[in-house]
Structure 1
């Protein structure tokens, strides 16, 4: 995945390796902490994907990490962001995009999302979909600024519906969440 926008900042994106899994899980815990500030303790306290779940996704080549190689940090400190694109209902699905809170405001998440759109285009997908919180600034509003549109109920396919059911079972309020899609143009 080519994310040249990150390279000027000393950041490098690469496909994740099994050795990255512990760092991804630690990062996911840090990335969840800001949800506590907006009253979403259920998200802040949520455990990251299991090591086995991540191992399967990593071996499929579905997980990407961003590392900070800037002179002030150097390599070997674990990922500062990660993304897990998969598929749902014939579209590219953003399972997860997380950025270390210490790296917020550097447009890393936006670059990862654009990288996923570019990958989706290259692989022939018609769109990129995700589920997210409608009003949390770094969720729904960010994706809408990046060109994602709220999906009508009739547009949501069976795999995305199943994902929403799992989110509800995990304690997320489906009324606060939405499915978004960005149509990919060729």
Structure 2
């Protein structure tokens, strides 16, 4: 994806801007990821809430590849330099566009920022000729599986999961995530 432009949008008229991340955004992304984990505590997933975000080096590599996007709040109420209010990481797996991560600051939940990013990722996948977008997520957490299913994603059957997505699932299991609570989802893209 290096050098490719991604036309992502967030709800208009709200004073938000989506842009490709820069290396200088990495600390803010990591802080945001910690805040975005807090709601998992409300559903009994303290280990997820306490999980550290990707390392700064991992994020720097993804940023340099052009895989990471941030949403800024440009409203006057938001202080300059307060960091992103949402972020997204796109890569590939098994020939599909992979939605590695989408996180929204809990203070910005309910504003459709996450949904807009996901829909923008699907549009990008379509423009780039991908047959679909895939991801792994929690099946029943409201802002995970149910949200993606409302946006047209469907649960992948075991036989549909390719080797790269299987490797991601293995690493999730090794990290202590309960595989029974997780699922692989895909949204097919039509041209």
TM exceeds 0.5? yes
Moved over 4 A (4+): none
Classify 1:162/1:4 alpha carbon distance in 2 versus 1 (closer, same or farther; 3 Å). Answer: closer
Question: 1:28-84 CA distances to partner (integer Å, 9 max, x unpaired)?
Answer: 000000001100011101100000000000000000000000122154210000000
Per the alignment, residue 15 of structure 2 pairs with: 10
3-state SS of paired residue (2:90): strand
> Are 1:147 and 2:152 counterparts?
yes
Normalising by the residue count of structure 2, what TM-score does the alignment of the two structures yield?
Answer: 0.95
Q: Which of 22, 28, 39 is the aligned partner of 2:27?
A: 22
Instruction: Provide the alpha-carbon RMSD of the alignment.
Output: 0.9
Whether 1:71 and 2:65 are equivalent positions in the alignment is: no
Deviation string, structure 1 residues 141-182 (Cα, Å, up to 9, x no partner): 000000000000000000000000000000100000000000
Aligned to 1:92: 97
In structure 1, list runs of 5 or more residues that go unmatched: none
Q: How does 1:66-145 map to 2 (within 5 A)?
A: 66-145=71-150
Q: Using the alignment, how far apart are the partners of 1:116 and 1:75 within structure 2?
A: 27
Residues 23 and 60 of structure 2 are in contact (CA less than 8 Å); yes or no, is this contact kept in structure 1?
yes
Unaligned runs of 5+ in 2: 1-5
- Counterpart residue number, 2:173: 168
Matched length: 186
Question: Does the CA-based 8 Å contact 1:67-1:75 persist in structure 2?
Answer: no
